[in-house]
Structure 1
Amino acid sequence: MASAQDMRSLSDLLQASLNPATAKQAEQSLRGAESQPGFSIMLLRLVASDQFQANTRLAGSLYFKNFIRRKWTDEEGNYLIPATDVEAVKLEIVGLMISLQGPLQIQLGEAISIMADSDFPDRWTTLIDDLVSRLSPNDVYTNNGVLRVAHSIFKRWRPLFSSNALLLEIKHVLDKFCAPFMTLFQQTDVLITQNEGVKDALIPLFQSLQLILKIYFDLNCQDLPEFFEDNKDPLMALVLKYLKYKNPLLETDDEDETGSLEETKSIICELLQLYTQRYDDVFGEMLPPFVDTTWNLLTTTGPEPKYDVLVSKALGFLTIISKNQDRAQVFGSQQILQQVIEKIVLPNMSLRTSDEEMFEDDPIEYTRRDLEGSDSDTRRRAATDFLRELKERFEGLVTEVVMSYVQHYLSTYNSNKSEWRAKDTAVYLFSSVAVKGTVTASGVSATNLLLDVVGFFSQNIAPDLIDNETHAILKVDAIKFIHTFRNQLTKGQLTEAFPVLSSMLISPDYVVYTYAAITIERILSIRQSAHNNSLLFDKDDIAPVAKQLLTNLFGLIEKGTTPEKLAENEFLIMCCMRVVLTAKESVAPYSEMIVQHLVGIIEETSKNPSNPKFTHYMFETVGAVLRYAAPNKPLGTFDRILLPVFMGILGQDVTEFMQYVFQLLAQILDLAPVNAHFPDAIAPLVRPIMAPTLWETRGNVPALTHLLISILARNPEIFGQQNLIEPILGVFQKLIASKANDHFGFELLESIFYNIPAAQLRPYVRQIALLILQRLHSSRTDKLVVRVAHLVYFLSATISANKELGPDFAVSLFDEAQPGIFGDIFDAFVVPATPKLHSVVDKKIAVIGLTRILFESSKFNAQYGTKWPKGAGTLASTLLSDSLVGVFDGPATQEATIDPIGDEEVSFGSSFARLATVTVKVLDPVSEVTDAKKYAADTVKKASSGNVSVCQANMGNVTPEIGSSLSRLAGMA
């Protein structure tokens, strides 16, 4: 039981963590206390206690959630806190969370979701029973707590791929939760009806209703449960009731503040989308009243921003309806389509006063919402998606109707330039029906053949790009048109547009210059064709203007007067990155200027990292400059600029930046010549980067491994000089104990063996082998077996770097730990895993390593002759396979196109964010061998002619089939 003094000390630390002057020390003290038994339950009770200040309790709830995320389990599901604490937290957290409200309840709910992700249902079998037992017929606040916990657990199912394990988990919930769920839904409906005129009662009741509807979606997101199919009539009757429901008490006076009713109806529209998409055979006959109600809702809802999400979700439902060929026929006449466009599409596609205000007052948010492919719920995007889906069904009719409106709005604008909103609507309408299919990050792949996109651009878009009197929003529309239809324009047309776009980087309008940067970046990303993956624009195209582009872009970024404003606009830094990637080594003459700008931005944003995307592309830009300029500059040019700021980041423990710094430090070492002086600033880092606390953050592990390997390659002597052999082997031990990180452990071990003199490693060799054998025995995985095979081949193949390595060393490594074990490892793991080594370098290492084991190892041939035929058969079959023709000719010399912008979401957290501009060098211990097949063939030929005595006896014991294969192989020499 925690004492009052312990609770007060914990409270003081949490309070100190809120003060920037004491936050770092407080955070370190909290981290130190985490390992103490009872810490987690004490923290949880502090959050629930009203004896402490509100901000302290909130800080505690955030810390508790993050503590659970970091410390509940490791990658293998093993608890990282004492078992007694695990049980205590499970026993108390649901009740405590339900007793709280607001942000405290939300944070604990997220913690429960993290715990459930690991433990539910197998290791937390009582959770659902506990929740159901707390539901009340009339205690709304308790019910809301229960429902929040339930939704935090069940919503995890939404994005997951279906599997037997997932369906069993859902069934476990359904069996216990369905009946209470339906009862609560009906009870809540009754209470809402009884309290229709009491606002204070309606607000929490509608919170219940919203959570019930979210859970309705959760429970149906993977498959249609039998319970919901059997009870679809009463349940869907309630859903329809609240889609129609009106009550002035639930409306807000603020045009921007979404009310309970709008939120509820938005959730209903999401549920209707799910049922229409997935369960049309069951739900189809019930659709008409939902469609009619949604139509009426869309035609009667005002333009105020508070309705935006509702309108978007409602349009999303109608879009799903229109995807069905049969159901879409309701829209299939010219008269109906005109109504659709006039009453639904145009009101939601036209620019509103609130949009213009956002353009002026919050331009970065306007850009993010407006950008094709963003996940923001906007009316324009939803109306566009609906119109495009109708066009897919009725292309000719929709195109004809829409173009009549386009011409009308263009005429209105051409006769009166002050009517610029009319042209804005015309451009949006045209773009909506001109696109065929979906718009991806690569742009539009096909267009409506009934429309002349290039002609429309020439007549109506291009003039706005060069007319200085054009309204800023129309200028953005023009830039966005190029962005959307860039694949339909020729390289010549894009080249002509490029200077105009570049000039807009000095525009005073935030959205104009941001869209110009976005479009320049995307133009430079265009591929030549589906068959030719090289870029349309190369360094010769961009080199003449790259310096000015970068100067303008950095000028825009550096307008920011705070760390948050500097990092606000990730599109500008993305454009910087793309310009450098395209210009390549042509940036070398002014590369120091680029790095100086980047260093200033890094230093300032490190004070308060706020935008993960900006951070990622900022460091990608550094990586790109190093990659292309460092080989063309004097040694150390960038070290003197970058290393001080990198050391500062590490010294100040800026966790959001650290994994990027580790990757770039490794790149600095990798790019320098082998005999170059080892940077003085990096030497003091070697011991600290092996501290266990750094390796606990999963995102650090790949970056730190790469950095250690780079240090080993450049300055292996430092490990002996500073007594760091044991610490680095401790890192290896920690890594191979983890299923998630064991491959990093083996990469590090191979580099240790390759670079550190054998004499320094000899006292530890037996323990290294024992660790590997223990892991093979305790928790063997296919990945682990492949890595062990790779290690054996790596050690066996190594010829020149370390004379004490080689096939006899590989044999004795394991046999010294357990006599006779190598034969079993070779037979059971190494040989069977050989076909699973896929990369060119790995296959080369395997072939040479196996060849040396069979034909050069006296220890193997003397002790494990019975294993020789199996190994020889694998060697022959590997080298004679038709599917491997050309695979041993060495890696391709042409550099692959780097594209750091992928679909994955970049965020601050524990996951690894790999810099695409940083290449991890593959350690090739036999780089001097350019043709592995010839090496093996020459060795077999010598042995066949009696020139290799070590394996003569074993060669005579092979089957005729293997003997024939070896003869064929020898014939290739």
Structure 2
Amino acid sequence: MNVVSLHQCFLGTLQANAEIRTQAEQQLKSAQKERGFLACCLDILNSADIELPVKKACLIYFKNIIIKNWRENGSIDHDEKPIVRERLLATIVHSDRSTKAIFIPILNEILVTDYPTEWPDFLDSTTRLFANPNDLDSLYTGMLCFSELCRKYRWMKNEDRSSQLDSIIKQYFSSLLQIGGQIISDSASSDSHWQLPEILKLILKSYKFVTYLDLPEPLQEEEAISNWIGFHVAVMNISLPSSAMQLDEEERHLSPWVKSQKWAYANILNIYVRYGSKGWLSDGSYTQFRALFSSSVVPELLKTYFGKIEEWRQGHRWISDASLYHIISFIEHAVTRKSSWGIIQPFLNNLISELAFPIFYPKDSVLELFEDDPQEYIMMTFTIEETSNSPVTAVRNLIATLAEKRKDTALEPILQFAYGKLNSLTSEQDTINVARQRESALRIIGCISSQLVEEQSPFKDQMEVFLSALVFPNFKSQFGFLRARTCNVSSKFSKLSFTDPNNLSVLFQGVMNCFNDSGHLPVQFEGALAIQSFIDFPQFKEALGSIIVPTTEKLLTLSGAIDSDLIPSVIQSCVENYSEQLEPFGISLTAKLSEQLMKLLEELNEAQSADPDDFDSDELGSKTNAALGIFSTLLTVLLYFENSAQKIAKLEQIYAPVLHYVLAKDLDSFFAETFEMLENTTFLTRNVSPTMWSLFEDSLRALMNSDLSLNLEDAMPALKNYMVYGASTIKTNSEYQQAMIGMVMKVFNKDGDFAPDDVMNAAELSTYIILALDSNSAGPYVPHLVKKSLEMMTFEEAEQPGNVYKIIMANVIIASLVVDPNHCLQTLIETSSTDSFFNLWNELCTSYKRVFDMKLSIMGLLSFLSIDMESLSQMNLEGVIPQFGKNLTILLTAVPKAISELEKKRKDMADTDGSNEITDEFIFGDNGEDSDEDENNEQENRDLAEAAETGGFVLDDDYIEQFGFATDDTFDEDPYANTPLDNLNIFKTFKDFILSVQASDSNKYSSIISQLNPEQMDTISNIVQIASN
């Protein structure tokens, strides 16, 4: 490998000429396959003569190769790895400051894979870099490498962690304290060297990594606790030097000094929550540490934190938002501890007035967003803050925790403060400063609202007067941010029973005025959410009903303007509450929702295909949630047209392009929602339209191109519906058959990371496929499916001891026996599996719970028993006839109760009337999957159940258990799902069979009933009699 030519390649990747760049990239792809490529990259990185941009290009390429190929089975030559390990640390030492961070993922990848077995001298090499404290580049590199070694243990929880890590902590962590202490002792002087605050940050991160998942024993010792807590407090006490304070406030958090303080506060919070207090995160192994920490450490830390808050309030200390978050969160956790509450209680009023109120008071930068970037304002103020480390989030949690956990002591002072503040402002003019104060006070009220309206609250009866006097008037504020907050806080009192109609009128008018405020998006947004909150109020419902169509149209417009899943949820509530009024609007509603959804999907697809750095992750998350919300709303609209297949046919034409786009672009984040739409469309129409068949093709392609192990379960209900409602097409379309069988065999062959659940899904899908075919079309597939099912049962039986797995795998063979008995039995005989499978089947016949399994086995038994005696004798299978006759009786005894229970479940579900089944003709190969339900089936099932209760035959658990049924074995049947056998009149089918055999083959009939007792013979007689009526 020639270093000069490689240098030219990297130089070429930086050229403006696209042709030169492409040529250089191709040359690099070829060069990386040659031995010595990584060593040449290290030569370039260590050369003093090569310009920095080329080094950066080389380093990034080097990093990508390491990350993708270092681990086992990667393409990196085994002999080259020791060279990389040997030279890497020295390369980092001499690298430019701007490139050092790029080495972090390289170090991490190699350490995770190779330390300590393949890189045993890494620790010694690292700590040797600590030897000369004046060589700051070496000291920084040593600390960088040491922190990455600690990172390796962050998520490790096993014996190796303790055996490896404890010795590292004992030997080297005292050195970290010494180095860190020297940096802290003269922060002003240290500020002149960029490496020193970075080293301080890495020391704190090293402590974070080793204490994140558990607390190593060496750090539980009293001396270590004192030293490390003292070190963290010393970092907190640093007066930020000029390099930090000279930065703009928005940029200051990037300073390593500020980051060090953030990690100091964060580490202490983590130690407290996980190990220093009793709770769900800690266990009994920290009892001694917990006692020491709670009694000695927490009180001193609280004093320190209250001191820091006071300095911050007086403007004597600048504290970053992240550090404030951790300070407040620490106090919040201490509120819940009896041992520390006594320390906090005297500061309660200060926490409300000097901490919560100022933090809730909106900054200029936030109010600028209200005007200039309303979407960002909504995300920051009303949505995302729940997941961000902002002091606003921490204060809200603190106030809520005080109100809940220290209700008797804290709730009234919090309410009194907010009441006093709002009341004092009633006579003030509506200035920006007054509006900000009201905003802050209202946010405090929002934090405690749930406690104020609960049944036992002493303040509940006062809340209506409070709201009408001090909250609702703010609906008329000239400041939009305050009107939005008024909507938000009012919504939190939706459980309150209002007694004065005038107050409800003011509330409704205020909410609708906000919703109609087209000039301020956040106000509209909160108005929309308030509509959802109060939609169940009779006065609201009646008033809103008269304007529901224009309201829904406006909600659609708002949904298009804001990437949020909350507005689609409001639309969904409107559809649920005003379905009749909105039904004529359904087509237009679906069209607008589909248009918005397509726009979001196109933006997300563009982001998926582009450089991740070009897109904001929060924004993409908002768009994803908004798309999911619209999918949910589309489904709600669809379900409200369930009684009109004609209207659904129109709707599907509108949303089908959206589903096609998801599948065609492999947007697997929305596969589940897409399959749910396909499932419900086919279910509600009991039909598969040409459009749905086109989407079926898209689905199969998308599933095979994606990770099938992640997506098959989501697709199952839709794919099964295609087999049920599209059986006639499946039966005649060999391409569809081959595609479905190919997908099933991919799972059976374990061509991917498939779990037993995936195998069961594939097996159940195989059963549905077979039942959609006839003997001619099933012939090519039955032998393969039977063999594979037998194989899977054998391989998995030890790991899947329960009956569920066996039932589902056996159903593939039983379905094959129903549809194509010749090929099925031939395959069982060829594989010498007849005895073992029939023995298993005999066992399973006494353990079925699902109607589908019972019906399928009855059909399988009838199919077998329908074979002429001569053929059975030639196959040496006539000996199983008596047992199969007994199995038939057992199943026919159990199935009426199972059907009755399933019908009860379906009746208990909302809107389950109507046919969703197919006829028994389908099983025997007749055409047409749209037949109506046999009206006699339901009455016949009731007659059979009644016969059981009145002595015709027994269905009680004792009777079932004597034949081996396990009554505690639960294998639930989905009452919403349909199967190919739902409409099969199994009793009529049995009656026709048994009468035919009795008349035409008395020997076989005698063999079938030879093991039945009188009670079981009565069962057969009753079934024949009832089925004949």
TM-score bracket for this pair, using the shorter chain length: 0.7 to 0.9
Equivalent residue number for residue 163 of structure 1: none
Partner of 2:269: 273
Counterpart mapping for 1:937-952 below 5 A:
none
The aligned residue for residue 287 of structure 1 is: 298
Q: Which SS does the other structure have where 1:608 is aligned?
A: helix
CA distance in 2, matches of 1:662, 1:198: 63
* Paired residues of 1:37 and 1:82 also in contact (CA < 8 A): no
Distance 1:831 1:10 in 2: 69
What residue is the counterpart of 1:142 in the other structure? 141
The match for 2:555 is 553
Give the alignment partner of residue 468 of structure 2, picking from 450, 458, 462.
458
Q: CA deviation at 1:822?
A: 4.8
Matched, 1:618 2:630: yes
1:727 paired with 2:739, answer yes
Q: How many residues align?
A: 878
Whether contact under 8 Å (2:786, 2:824) holds in the other structure is no
SS state of the match for residue 451, structure 2?
strand
User: Which amino acid letter does the alignment assign opposite residue 182 of structure 1?
Assistant: F
Q: Which residue of 1 aligns with 2:483?
A: 475
What do residues 582-615 of structure 1 show as CA deviations (whole Å, max 9, x unaligned)? Answer: 4446533112212322333234333321321112
- The match for 1:928 among 962, 976, 983 is 983
| Matching residue of 1:573 | 568
**Residues 764, 587 of structure 1: CA spacing in aligned structure 2 closer, same or farther, 3 A cutoff?**
same
Q: Answer yes or no: is 1:185 the counterpart of 2:176.
A: yes
**Which range is displaced more, 190-199 or 871-880?**
871-880
Distance 1:383 1:146 in 2: 37
1:557, 1:391 → 2: CA distance?
35
The amino acid that maps onto 1:481 is V
Paired residues of 2:906 and 2:975 also in contact (CA < 8 A)? no
What is the identity, as a one-letter code, of the residue corresponding to 2:458?
A: L
Inter-CA distance 579–156: structure 2 relative to 1 (3 Å threshold): farther
Give the whole-Å Cα distance in 2 for the aligned partners of 1:396 and 1:185.
46
TM-score, scaled to structure 1: 0.74
TM-score with structure 2 setting the length: 0.70
Aligned amino acid, residue 568 of structure 2:
I
- Any conservation in 2 of the 1:518–1:571 contact (CA below 8 Å)? yes
Could you tell me which amino acid in structure 1 is paired with residue 808 of structure 2? H
Taking the aligned partners of 1:44 and 1:952, their CA distance within structure 2 comes to 85
Aligned-partner SS, 1:332: helix
**Deviation of residue 316 (structure 1)?**
0.7
Question: SS of the residue aligned with 1:756?
Answer: coil
Matched, 1:596 2:591: yes
Q: Is the alpha carbon distance of 1:179 and 1:646 closer, same or farther for their aligned partners in structure 2, counting shifts above 3 Å?
A: same
**1:27-176 maps to which residues of 2 (within 5 A)?**
82=73, 99=92, 126=117, 132-133=123-124, 135-136=126-127, 137-138=129-130, 139-143=138-142, 145-146=144-145, 149-150=148-149, 153-156=152-155, 166-168=157-159, 170-171=161-162, 174-175=165-166
Would the alpha carbon gap of residues 666 and 429 (structure 1) be closer, same or farther in structure 2, given more than 3 Å must change? closer
Partner in structure 1 of residue 495 of structure 2: 487
1:242·1:265 contact (CA, 8 Å) conserved in 2? yes
Whichever residue aligns with residue 323 of structure 1, its letter is: T
Contact 1:505 1:553 in 2 (8 A): no
Post-superposition offset of 1:684: 8.6
In structure 1, what residue type is equivalent to 2:447? S
CA contact (8 A) 2:359 2:395 kept: yes
Q: Any conservation in 2 of the 1:40–1:64 contact (CA below 8 Å)? A: no
The one-letter code sitting in structure 1 at the alignment partner of 2:640 is Y
The question of 1:744 aligning with 2:755 is answered no
CA deviation digits over 1:345-394, x for unaligned, max 9?
Answer: 33333333343334334433433343388122332332233234344455
Q: Which moved more, 1:99-108 or 1:344-353?
A: 99-108
Q: CA deviation at 1:266?
A: 2.9
C-alpha deviation, 1:731, in angstroms: 1.0
Q: Give the deviation of 1:53 after TM superposition.
A: 6.3
**Secondary structure of the structure 2 residue equivalent to 1:246:** coil
1:90-109: CA deviation from partner (whole Å, max 9, x where unpaired): 97998879958999887886
- State how far apart, in whole Å, the 2-side matches of 1:747 and 1:115 are: 44
Determine the C-alpha separation between the residues in 2 that align with 1:727 and 1:701: 14
Aligned: 1:420 with 2:428: no
What is the CA distance between 1:872 and its match in structure 2?
Answer: 8.9
Report the counterpart of residue 351 of structure 1 in structure 2.
362
Residues 498-509 of structure 1: pairs in structure 2 closer than 5 A = 498=508, 500-507=510-517, 508-509=519-520
* 1:692-737 deviation digits (Å, cap 9, x = unpaired): 7613365544455555444444545367545443333221111232
| Per-residue deviation, residues 183-206 of structure 1 (Å, max 9, x unmatched) | 453254155247734456765444
Report the AA paired with residue 250 of structure 2: D
Question: 1:642 is matched by which residue type in structure 2?
Answer: Y
Q: Report the equivalent of 1:311.
A: 324
**Is residue 790 from structure 1 mapped to residue 801 from structure 2 by the alignment?**
no
- Write the deviation string for residues 19-55 of structure 1: whole angstroms up to 9, x where unpaired: 9x9x9x99xx99xx99x99699989998997698699
Matched-pair contact (CA < 8 Å) for 2:357–2:441: no
Larger radius of gyration, structure 1 or 2? 2
Give the deviation of 1:541 after TM superposition: 8.9
Change (3 A) 1:791 1:699: closer
Which residue identity lines up with residue 426 of structure 2 in the other structure?
A: N
Partner AA of 1:772 in structure 2? S
Q: Quote how far apart the aligned CAs of 1:328 are.
A: 0.5
- The equivalent residue for 1:325 is 338
2:800 is matched by which residue type in structure 1?
D
The offset of 1:238, in angstroms, is 1.9
1:909 corresponds to which residue? none
Q: 1:628 to 1:793 in 2, by over 3 A?
A: same
Q: CA deviation at 1:892?
A: 2.0
Q: Contact conserved, 1:364 with 1:569, CA < 8 A, in 2?
A: no
Identity of aligned residues (%): 13
Letter in 1 for 2:775: A
CA contact (8 A) 1:479 1:516 kept: yes
Aligned to 2:216: 225
Matched with 2:906 is: 892
What SS does the aligned partner of 2:980 have? coil
Structure 2 match to 1:441? none
Task: Point out the more displaced range, 604-613 or 40-49.
Answer: 40-49
Question: Quick one: structure 1 residues 599 and 383, their matched pair in 2 at CA, closer, same or farther if it must change by over 3 Å?
Answer: closer
Name 1:262's counterpart in structure 2: 258
Answer whether contact 2:166 2:216 (CA < 8 A) is retained.
Answer: no
C-alpha contact (below 8 Å) 2:764/2:808 kept by paired residues = no
Residues 205 and 416 (structure 1), Cα distance of their counterparts in 2 relative to 1, 3 Å cut: same
Indicate how the Cα distance of structure 1 residues 599 and 691 shifts in structure 2: closer, same or farther if over 3 A, else same: closer
Conserved? CA contact 2:666–2:706, under 8 Å: no
Aligned counterparts of 1:816 and 1:549: Cα–Cα separation in 2: 68
Return the offset for 1:324. Answer: 0.9
Q: Does 1:216 align with 2:207?
A: yes
Find the counterpart in structure 2 of residue 766 from structure 1: 783
1:638 equivalent in alignment to 2:638: no
Match of 2:374 in 1: 363
- Superposed, 1:852-931 pairs within 5 Å as 857-858=864-865, 862=878, 887-889=901-903, 891-893=905-907, 895=909, 922-928=977-983
Unpaired runs of at least 5, structure 2: 131-137, 277-289, 605-619, 866-871, 913-973
Distance across 2 between alignment mates of 1:522 and 1:192? 55
Change (3 A) 1:292 1:785: same
- Asked whether the 8 Å contact 1:890–1:931 carries over to 2, the reply is no
* 2:850 equivalent to 1:843: yes
In structure 2, what residue type is equivalent to 1:479? C
Structure 1 Cα separation of the partners of residues 379 and 324 of structure 2: 19
Do the aligned partners of 1:769 and 1:817 also contact (CA within 8 Å) in 2?
no
SS in 2 for 1:377: coil
> Does 1:606 find its partner at 2:624?
no
Inter-partner Cα distance in structure 2 for 1:184 and 1:537: 71
Greater relative contact order (CA < 8 Å, ≥ 6 in sequence): 1
Tell me the amino acid that sits aligned with residue 571 of structure 1: L
Q: Residue 299 of structure 2 contacts residue 340 of structure 2 at CA under 8 Å; is this kept in 1?
A: no
**Separation of aligned partners in 1, 2:66 and 2:745:** 29
Which residue of 2 is the match for residue 907 of structure 1? none
